A and B are shown apart, each in its own frame.
Chain A
Amino acid sequence: MEHKSLEETLREHPFLEGFKPEHIRKMAEMALEVQFGRDQIIFREGQESGLFFLILSGKVALEISAPGRILRVQTLGPGEELGWSSVLGEGGKHFQARSLETVRALAFEGARLRQACEQDPSFGYALMRQLLKVVAERLQATRLQLLDLYAPRAAKLI
């Protein structure tokens, strides 16, 4: 990993901003570096994938299958997270994830993360707080998407 230790890599990832060194160390112990080739399905909608990813490079598309077509609803890139629902451990994936280019990421087993949260509530609080931020950002972005802000209206300047 470009001569960087997992801990160094994690320290630089925006998701872990503000994490205590011992929490980053704990994450590093659970991390596994993974790579996906272009156009690879990382997980499918509804699939019981238990992995949570921190993206290091490349781009991932989140897609929903509709009859006769696939809608691409969001893309995620370096510094972002993928598969947050696996940390909750309930139900299958909400979207299909596809790599649009070669993707490097750190993968974490959701079950192990949950176990670590239960064993160390201080770590659990830090992780859940970050996850909640991610979910809140995504919810906000989804609401803005639903507003269809750029739809044509009459009588506009510009």
Chain B
Amino acid sequence: MSEVAQATLTMTRARVLAVEKETHDTFTLTVASADPDPLPPFEPGQFSMLYVFGVGELPISISGDPGEPERQVYTIRSVGQATHTLVSQRPGNMIGVRGPFGTSWPVKAARGKDVLIVAGGIGLAPLRPVIYHVLRHRDDYVRLLVLYGARSPRDLLYRRQLAEWGRAPDTQVLVTVDYGGLSWRGHVGVVTTLFRQVRLHPSETVAFICGPEIMMRYVVRQLEARGLAPEDIYISMERNMKCGVGFCGHCQLGPYFVCKDGPVFSYRQMQPWMDTHEL
């Protein structure tokens, strides 16, 4: 069996090493192979199919450090029975892992430029590997700008890391919430309002965006208004993925299968389909 077929069709048994509570409904699972072979390496932005025995299989983005592929990390929001079962795992439990699948954030194409990350809600999870990569290869990039929006302070992911990243050289991390209580002294407003606080060099910037599709549309408009070319803007699309290899057709979007041709697309590719009504 070829390496690709092996990665896509065969499942690796993985042991849960840790479960960390990120927010009231979101958890981060760290797993490692329980089979003789380690989990295969991944690129930032790729996802795995996680199988909970007796429950089902789910596509989950890898949110860990691509420099440490032997321990794979997944940040999961508990929104239904399968995700609830997944986040209820305990260290030592066994799950199945297939993948990694899909396209990745083109971090190599961004070398020598500013990397702008715009994330909304749990959309920060698939972008965290990019942040790890840029910080690990700091000399390859100019500035790292992270704009992150969440619903409220209690919904913010990776709060400790956000603060750490903000202290790194040539790195600006701006966080906002849609609604803040009196104890929140940070920014309040949707993520697009953060653009007024950053100075972009449009021809020297590559933007990676992940979040709800409506949010991404408005972020793209802001970026285009600031002079970024559609080919320098990348987005991660979200559709109902099942097989992970483009066979079942559940995730078809125009001519693309999001699981196979995506989830990361350049905005140039997605532009005609994002604005198509009812697609």
Within the assembled complex, what's the spacing in Å between the Cα atoms of A72 and B79?
27
B178, A150: Cβ atoms closer than 8 Å? yes
Q: A152-B25, A158-B122, A158-B126 are in contact. Are A77 and B187 (CB under 8 A)?
A: yes
Q: A100-B185, A156-B79, A157-B239 are in contact. Are A149 and B214 (CB under 8 A)?
A: yes
B192, A150: Cβ atoms closer than 8 Å? no
- Would you give the 0/1 interface string for B221-243, flagging 1 where the beta carbon is closer than 8 Å to chain A? 00000000000000010111100
Q: Which of A73, A75, A151, A157 has the most CB of B within 10 A?
A: A157
Within the assembled complex, what's the spacing in Å between the Cα atoms of A72 and B186?
10
Smallest Cβ distance from B59 to chain A, in angstroms? 5
Q: Tell me, yes or no, whether B150 is within 8 Å of chain A by CB.
A: yes
Within the assembled complex, what's the spacing in Å between the Cα atoms of A156 and B193?
25
Q: Tell me, yes or no, whether B249 is within 8 Å of chain A by CB.
A: no
Q: Tell me, yes or no, whether B99 is within 8 Å of chain A by CB.
A: no
Within the assembled complex, what's the spacing in Å between the Cα atoms of A70 and B218?
28
B179, A73: Cβ atoms closer than 8 Å? yes
Q: Tell me, yes or no, whether B54 is within 8 Å of chain A by CB.
A: no
Q: A72-B182, A100-B185, A155-B240 are in contact. Are A77 and B190 (CB under 8 A)?
A: no
Q: Tell me, yes or no, whether A102 is within 8 Å of chain B by CB.
A: no
Q: A149-B214, A154-B80, A158-B126 are in contact. Are A74 and B182 (CB under 8 A)?
A: no
* Residue on B nearest A154 in the bound complex, by CB: B80
- Would you give the 0/1 interface string for A66-88, flagging 1 where the beta carbon is closer than 8 Å to chain B? 00011111110111100000000
| Selected contact of B120 from candidates A70, A73, A141, A150, CB within 8 Å | A150
Q: Tell me, yes or no, whether B77 is within 8 Å of chain A by CB.
A: yes
Q: Tell me, yes or no, whether B184 is within 8 Å of chain A by CB.
A: yes
* Chain B residues, CB < 8 A from A145: 178-179, 189-190
Smallest Cβ distance from A62 to chain B, in angstroms? 8
B151, A144: Cβ atoms closer than 8 Å? no
Residues of chain B in range 170-202 having any CB-CB distance to chain A below 8 Å: 176, 178-182, 184-190, 192-193, 196-197
A158, B214: Cβ atoms closer than 8 Å? no
| Selected contact of B189 from candidates A75, A100, A101, A158, CB within 8 Å | A75
* Residue on A nearest B210 in the bound complex, by CB: A158
Tally chain A residues at the interface, Cβ within 8 Å.
Answer: 34
* Residue on A nearest B258 in the bound complex, by CB: A157
Q: Tell me, yes or no, whether A153 is within 8 Å of chain B by CB.
A: yes
| Selected contact of B188 from candidates A73, A101, A155, CB within 8 Å | A73
- Would you give the 0/1 interface string for A119-137, flagging 1 where the beta carbon is closer than 8 Å to chain B? 0000000000000000001
Tally chain B residues at the interface, Cβ within 8 Å.
Answer: 48
A157, B241: Cβ atoms closer than 8 Å? yes
* Chain B residues, CB < 8 A from A156: 77, 79, 122, 238
B212, A149: Cβ atoms closer than 8 Å? yes
A151, B151: Cβ atoms closer than 8 Å? yes
A144, B190: Cβ atoms closer than 8 Å? yes
Q: Tell me, yes or no, whether B215 is within 8 Å of chain A by CB.
A: yes
* Chain A residues, CB < 8 A from B176: 75
15 extra interface residue pairs, beta carbon distance < 8 Å, beyond A149-B190, A158-B122? A73-B179, A75-B176, A100-B185, A141-B190, A144-B192, A145-B190, A149-B120, A149-B214, A150-B120, A150-B155, A150-B211, A153-B79, A154-B80, A157-B241, A158-B125
Binding site for A on B (CB under 8 A): 25, 47, 59-61, 75, 77, 79-80, 120-123, 125-126, 149-151, 155, 176, 178-182, 184-190, 192-193, 196-197, 210-212, 214-215, 218, 236, 238-241, 263
10 smallest beta-carbon distances between A and B, as pairs: A150-B121, A150-B151, A72-B180, A149-B212, A144-B190, A75-B188, A154-B80, A158-B61, A152-B79, A74-B189
25 A-B residue pairs with Cβ-Cβ distance under 8 Å, sorted by A, are A61-B180, A62-B188, A69-B181, A71-B179, A74-B188, A75-B176, A75-B186, A75-B187, A77-B196, A77-B197, A80-B196, A100-B185, A147-B214, A148-B178, A149-B121, A149-B214, A150-B120, A150-B122, A150-B155, A150-B178, A152-B79, A155-B80, A155-B240, A157-B239, A158-B61
